[in-house]
Amino acid sequence: MAKVVARTGNEAMAEAMRQINPDVVAAYPITPATEIVMIFAKYVADGLVDTNYVAVESEHSAMSACVGAAAAGARVMTGTSSQGLALMYEILPIAAALRLPIVLSDVNRALSGPINIHCDHSDTMAARDFGWLQIFSENSQEAYDGLIQAVRIAEDPRVHLPAMVTTDGFIISHCLDKIELLEDSEVKEFIGPERKAPNSLLNLEKPVSIGLLDLQDYYFEHRLPVAEAMRGAKKVILEVADEFAKKFGRKYGLCEAYKLEDAEHVVVALGSTCGTAKVVVDELRSKGVRAGLLKIRVFRPFPGEEIAAALAKAKTVAVLDRSDSWSAQGGQVFTEVRSVMFDLPVKPKIINFIYGLGGREIDQGQIRQVYDCLQKVEKQPLVQYLGVRE
């Protein structure tokens, strides 16, 4: 029987990892993700899991050890943040190319510099094209549920790609939230038995080589399957979400539409900001403003068709980015959303707000400001920086 408890985002993710009981966790602590692996290390020390915990000297080594363990057929997890994720960047696309279903908890934190330990999405966004599934969480419950689902999705033979589940640093990772925990047996049954790798380094009857040099003769052909798996992952994500909903009553999709049926002015966002935006939508609705919110939960694979369909009837759209692409064309979410709207016969006016860099607060007043701008959108610049002192 599920129980309701108070947990921080980090505690929720560590609890999910305990219930998943992976074969190997290799990690190096970094703020604000340190608690996840610290709590999990205590589970190992107390004999609550059977996991081989590998304490390494850097995040580069952590992901390298994860690759080796996953290639041997183990169920593998890790956690990191910001510069730690950046130190893994060399290895992340290797994990994807080798089709290794590693699951990573990333606590979103600003990339340096200047040095900053607080939330924005620049770390995850910089890794968006490395072949990893990316699932964003609005709160601790979504982080807990998302991590459990990520194991099933990543290990599905139709996918076999690594996955990262993210939370907003300190906003979710260190704040208490009420969540519903599943029973250990329910999690074990849902994720399924031990992972069976199609080609294991430890299979002496069928020896394989992994990580070989792959030049122009075959490199292209070996990259295409990653793209095909990413495209096919959407179906698997939805299948796993449907099964989760039937068993446990919590429904997830690629996106979440909040009061979009007749919305004229729509905000698109990811992560914890969506909870604040929902409050503003309700307030504006009570005043007769037809406001709505589209929350993107899965950023990779990018749900382009679903986003275009959800926004097709809107008059104006504001995309909120908690990171900047430095392209002078707006943030990463904005450029991708704008791209998928291109073929619509009638397009809403789309503008971009970059906000919250380095943990800068976003409040209801700033989100109201966004909706105000949407109601006079013709006078607005394409890209604005929300909440910056100028």
Whether cis (ω within 30° of 0) applies to the bond prior to 29 is: no
Residues 6+ apart with CB under 8 A from 38: 29
pLDDT at 53 over 80: yes
Q: Which helix (H) or strand (E) holds 248?
A: helix 219-248
Instruction: Output the average pLDDT for the chain.
Output: 97
pLDDT at 198 over 90: no
**What is the DSSP code (8-state) at residue 179?**
E
Interatomic CA distance for residues 194 and 156, integer angstroms? 12
Average confidence (pLDDT) over 82-103: 98
Q: Name the band, by pLDDT with cuts 50, 70 and 90, for residue 41.
A: very high
Average confidence (pLDDT) over 209-228: 94
**pTM for the full predicted model:** 0.97
- Looking at residue 159, what is its pLDDT? 97
- Looking at residue 20, what is its pLDDT? 98
Strands (DSSP E) contained in the chain are 3-7, 24-27, 52-55, 76-80, 103-108, 133-136, 163-168, 177-181, 255-258, 265-269, 291-296, 298-300, 316-321, 349-355, 383-386
Per residue in 123-168, pLDDT (tens digit) is: 999 999 999 999 999 999 999 999 999 999 999 999 999 999 999 9
Average confidence (pLDDT) over 334-361: 97
- Looking at residue 92, what is its pLDDT? 98
Per residue in 297-333, pLDDT (tens digit) is: 999 999 999 999 999 999 999 999 999 999 999 999 9
Residues 6+ apart with CB under 8 A from 308: 340, 341, 343, 344
Domains of the chain with bracketed CATH: 3-248 (3.40.50.970), 255-386 (3.40.50.920)
Percent of the chain with pLDDT over 90: 95
Neighbours of 158 (CB within 10 A): 13
pLDDT at 178 over 80: yes
What percent of the residues of the chain are helix, what percent strand, and what percent coil, each to the nearest 5?
40, 20, 40
- Looking at residue 138, what is its pLDDT? 98
Per residue in 2-37, pLDDT (tens digit) is: 799 999 999 999 999 999 999 999 999 999 999 999
Residues 6+ apart with CB under 8 A from 181: 2, 3, 4, 5, 7, 15, 144
- Looking at residue 196, what is its pLDDT? 80
- Looking at residue 288, what is its pLDDT? 98
Average confidence (pLDDT) over 368-376: 97
Interatomic CA distance for residues 100 and 31, integer angstroms? 26
Q: Name the band, by pLDDT with cuts 50, 70 and 90, for residue 1.
A: low
Tokens of 305: 């068709």
Interatomic CA distance for residues 4 and 66, integer angstroms? 32
Lowest-confidence range among 119-123, 196-200, 204-208, 333-337?
A: 196-200
